[in-house]
C-alpha cells in the first residue's frame, strides 16, 4: 500500500476564479515515483469542509449537504482525490516538481468541491503543504490506449487537458531527441474563455516547432470579440467541434430535430439551440485536413473532461466506427 508524504506547492497560476495550475515539490529528501504521461496521483488535504449524501434528486443524481457537528458548524476533515498529472515525465526528472491543472468544482448540490476548494485557498494563511500518496498509477497512457494506431486524436474539455498536455510535452521532448514514433497527433481543447485555455502558448509553440506531426485545435465556448478575431482560436464546445469536423449537426440542433419528431419539448430545445455557439475552427486548419486525421481504420480518439461532453464524443465516434478511449478512475 502506498504511503503518504508531504509535498509543498512552489508555484501556482490562477487562470480564472475556477481554474488553477500549480506545481508540487516532493517531501524533502525524496523524489516522486517515475510515471508515464497520462497517469494520476492522489492528493489530500486535512482542512476540507465536509459534506454528506442527503438523498437522490429528481434527476437521479445524489444530493449533498454540509456535514454538521453538534454545535451546527460544518465539519472540517480529510479528503483525498486523484488528479491527472499535467507535467511531462522529463520535467519531473529534471526539475523535481509535478504539475496539476484543476477546476474548482461546484456540484449540482450547490456546494464547492471539498478538496478543490482548499487547493484554491493554498497560501501562507492556510499552509502550502499538500499530502500525496507515494504511488502514481493509471492506464490512460499512449502505451495502453493507443498502441497500434497511426493517428492519435485527443479531445479535452476544460482541465481534462491535463493528461494530454503531459503527453504533448513528452512527445515533443522525445521527438527533439530523435526518439519520435512517427505517428500523427491531433489535440482538440475547449474551455470557456481564452484565459482558461491552460498551456495555450506552450501548445502553439510545440505545433510551430514541427518536431513531431502535431496539430493543435483550441476553441472557446464563450467567445469575445477578441477571440473571434484571433486566427489561432476557434469557437464551440469540444463535442460540437468534433461533430462539425465529421459533418454532423451540433448536439443541440440534433436534439431540436428529435423534439420536433416527437412533438415534445420543442420550445425548450429551440431555446437551448439559440444559446449554442456555432462551431468554427482556427484558421490554420480545415475540416478536410482534420477529417483525414480521423480515418476510422487508423485512428484512436482519447477523451477527457466534462462527462456530458465526453458522452456525446463517444456517441460521435461510435457512429463513425472510430476507436474511443476515456479516462476512468
Q: What's the CA gap between 163 and 57, in Å, rounded?
A: 32
Q: What is the pTM of this model?
A: 0.92
Q: Any alpha helices (H) in the chain, and if so which ranges?
A: 89-95, 114-120, 142-145, 162-176, 200-209, 225-229, 238-245, 251-262, 266-274, 287-292, 307-319
Residue whose entry in the numeric block shows the C-alpha cell 492519435:
152
Per-residue confidence (pLDDT) for residue 42, from 0 to 100: 97
Cα torsion for 219, 223, 224, 228, to the nearest 10°? Answer: 50
Contact 217, 282 (CB under 8 A): yes
The matching CATH number, chosen from 3.40.50.170, 3.10.20.30, 1.20.1250.20, 3.40.50.80, for 142-326 is 3.40.50.80
Q: Average pLDDT, whole number, for the chain?
A: 92
3-state secondary structure at position 47: strand
Per-residue confidence (pLDDT) for residue 65, from 0 to 100: 81
3-state secondary structure at position 278: coil
How open is the CA angle 275-280-156, to the nearest 5 degrees?
85
Per-residue confidence (pLDDT) for residue 109, from 0 to 100: 53
Per-residue confidence (pLDDT) for residue 123, from 0 to 100: 79
Q: What are the residue boundaries of the structural domains of the chain, listed by start?
A: 4-137, 142-326
Q: What is the DSSP string of 48-70?
A: EEPEEEEEE-TTS-EEEEEPB-T
pLDDT in tens, 195-220: 999 999 999 999 999 999 999 999 99
101's enclosing H/E stretch is strand 98-103
Per-residue confidence (pLDDT) for residue 112, from 0 to 100: 62
The list of the chain residues with pLDDT below 70 reads 1, 59-61, 106-113, 329
Per-residue confidence (pLDDT) for residue 12, from 0 to 100: 92
pLDDT in tens, 265-304: 899 999 999 999 999 999 999 999 999 999 999 999 999 9
Per-residue confidence (pLDDT) for residue 59, from 0 to 100: 64
pLDDT in tens, 35-65: 999 999 999 999 888 888 878 777 666 777 8
Phi, psi of 188 (to 5 degrees): -100, 130
Question: Into which CATH architecture does domain 4-137 fall?
Answer: Beta Barrel (2.40)
Non-local (6+) Cβ contacts of 58 within 8 A are none
Cα torsion for 242, 202, 141, 286, to the nearest 10°? Answer: 20
Q: What's the CA gap between 109 and 210, in Å, rounded?
A: 46
Per-residue confidence (pLDDT) for residue 62, from 0 to 100: 72
Amino acid at each position: 500500500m502506498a504511503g503518504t508524504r508531504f509535498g509543498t506547492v512552489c508555484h501556482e497560476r490562477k487562470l480564472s476564479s475556477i481554474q488553477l495550475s500549480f506545481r508540487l515539490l516532493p517531501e524533502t529528501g525524496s523524489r516522486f515515483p517515475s510515471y508515464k504521461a497520462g497517469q494520476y496521483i492522489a492528493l489530500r488535504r486535512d482542512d476540507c469542509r465536509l459534506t454528506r449524501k442527503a438523498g437522490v434528486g429528481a434527476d437521479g443524481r445524489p444530493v449533498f449537504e454540509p456535514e454538521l457537528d453538534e454545535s451546527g458548524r460544518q465539519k472540517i476533515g480529510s479528503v483525498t482525490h486523484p488528479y491527472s498529472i499535467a507535467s511531462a515525465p522529463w520535467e519531473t526528472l529534471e526539475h523535481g516538481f509535478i504539475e496539476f491543472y484543476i477546476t474548482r468544482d461546484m456540484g449540482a448540490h450547490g456546494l464547492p468541491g471539498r478538496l478543490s476548494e482548499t487547493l484554491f485557498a493554498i497560501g501562507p494563511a492556510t499552509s502550502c503543504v499538500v499530502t500525496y500518496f507515494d504511488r502514481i498509477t493509471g492506464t490512460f497512457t499512449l502505451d495502453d490506449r493507443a498502441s497500434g494506431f497511426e493517428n492519435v486524436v485527443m479531445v479535452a474539455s476544460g482541465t481534462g487537458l491535463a493528461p494530454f498536455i503531459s503527453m504533448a510535452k513528452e512527445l515533443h521532448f522525445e521527438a527533439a531527441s530523435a526518439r519520435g514514433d512517427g505517428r500523427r497527433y491531433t489535440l482538440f481543447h475547449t474551455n470557456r474563455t481564452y484565459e482558461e485555455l491552460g498551456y495555450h502558448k506552450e501548445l502553439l509553440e510545440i505545433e510551430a516547432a514541427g518536431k513531431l506531426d502535431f496539430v493543435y485545435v483550441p476553441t472557446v465556448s464563450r467567445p469575445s470579440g477578441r477571440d473571434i478575431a484571433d486566427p489561432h482560436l476557434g469557437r464551440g464546445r469540444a463535442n460540437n467541434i468534433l461533430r462539425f469536423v465529421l459533418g454532423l449537426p451540433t448536439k443541440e440542433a440534433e436534439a431540436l430535430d428529435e423534439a420536433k419528431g416527437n412533438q415534445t419539448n420543442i420550445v425548450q430545445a429551440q431555446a437551448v439551440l439559440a444559446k449554442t455557439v456555432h462551431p468554427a475552427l482556427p484558421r490554420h486548419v480545415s475540416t478536410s485536413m482534420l477529417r483525414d486525421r480521423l480515418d476510422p481504420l487508423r485512428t484512436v480518439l482519447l477523451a477527457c473532461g466534462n462527462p456530458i461532453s465526453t458522452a456525446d464524443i463517444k456517441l460521435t465516434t461510435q457512429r463513425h466506427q472510430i476507436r474511443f478511449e476515456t479516462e476512468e478512475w
